Amino acid sequence: MNEKSQYSVMLFKAVSYVLKAEKILKKENLPHKLIPVPKNISSDCGICLRFDPALQNKIEAALLNKVEVEEIRALRD
Amino acid sequence: MSKTKIVNARGLSCPQPVILAKQAIETNEQVKVIVDNETALENVKRLGTKQGCDVQVEKKNDGTYEINLTRKAGAIVTKEEFVPSCDATPAASGPFVIVISADTMGRGNDELGNVLIRAFLHTVCQQKEKPAVMIFYNTGVKLTVQGSEVLEDLKQLESEGVQLLVCGTCLNYFEIKDKIAAGTVSNMYDIVETMSRAGRLLVP
């Protein structure tokens, strides 16, 4: 998932939410990557999940009612 | 109103811009110095203030700065030597080395530390200036084996020519030597030798 391409990031309110979401996605075998929140979104030292936009529906469904997602943004390298 | 002397110091590195600016302000009331880096900007600004000038800076869209120096009435231009603080570019002759001494970054909370080291490695991957060598030891070696969340980043770094040295004693201790998936198994001789000749050694 490091190729120069389109990708999406999922932002959460707190680091603990990211970790919880990550555990769920790992269990569901949904590829994702934990990365620092891109600087153009926020200069805070935040963490978010990066994923392939094609998986957005599946990822959202997996997290539904389990982890509160703040925002999803489509980005490009 | 006197004419403004323009000093084009683009492309010049320290201390050239400040020397040219100083020569110009000694013989002109108004000088416009054009520079293209922040070191030059700061040095020319300091020079202006020191010479009793009014200093105005305009940042241009092309990344250059126009520094307008106007000698204040009655200001006496000093002839004394002005020593610009040129970036002391370290005479780093050796390679840039990053040492990953744990599978965490910082001390305190390991869960958080692991998040941080993953974010760190991802960010190293995206930096223009990559290290020449990365050394992994103690729990740091766990990042290089199958199942590691940062394997993709490490493999990318390797493919871009970064040498990954992984401590064999450590792999052995954790009984994961057969699971190494990025980098090469190394030893204390190589590790000490690499650290000793490093121009810059970074330990997150």
Cβ–Cβ < 8 Å for B106, B113: yes
Report how far apart, in Å, the C-alpha atoms of A63 and of each of A22, A72, B88, B160 are: 10, 13, 51, 35
Give the residue from chain A lying closest to B115, CA to CA: A34
Residue A31 lies in a domain: yes
In this prediction, residue B40 has a pLDDT band, given cuts at 50, 70 and 90, of: confident
Cβ–Cβ < 8 Å for B113, B105: yes
Task: Identify the domain containing residue A44 by its residue range.
Answer: 6-76
Residue A16 lies in a domain: yes
In percent, the amount of chain A with pLDDT more than 90 equals: 70
Report chain B residues touching chain A, CB-CB < 8 A.
111-112, 115, 118-119, 122-123, 125, 149, 152-153, 156
H/E stretch holding A75: strand A71-76
Query: What is the CATH number for A31?
Result: 3.30.70.260
Q: Could you read off the pLDDT of B57-105 as tens digits, one per residue?
A: 999 888 899 999 998 877 777 766 666 666 555 445 789 999 999 999 9
Residue A1 lies in a domain: no
Domain B4-71 has CATH 3.30.2130.30: no
Domain B96-202 has CATH 3.40.640.10: no
Our count of domains for chain A comes to: 1
In this prediction, residue B170 has a pLDDT band, given cuts at 50, 70 and 90, of: very high
Q: Is the pLDDT of residue A58 over 90?
A: yes
Residue B90 has a pLDDT of 45
In this prediction, residue B112 has a pLDDT band, given cuts at 50, 70 and 90, of: very high
A36–B122 C-beta distance less than 8 A: yes
Give me the residue spans of the domains in chain B.
4-71, 96-202
Higher pLDDT residue, A4 or A12? A12
DSSP string, A7-61: EEEEE-SSHHHHHHHHHHHHHTT---EEEEPPTTT--S--EEEEE-GGGHHHHHH
The reply to whether A20 touches chain B by the CB within 8 Å rule is no
Average pLDDT value for chain A: 89
Q: Could you read off the pLDDT of B9-19 as tens digits, one per residue?
A: 988 887 888 88
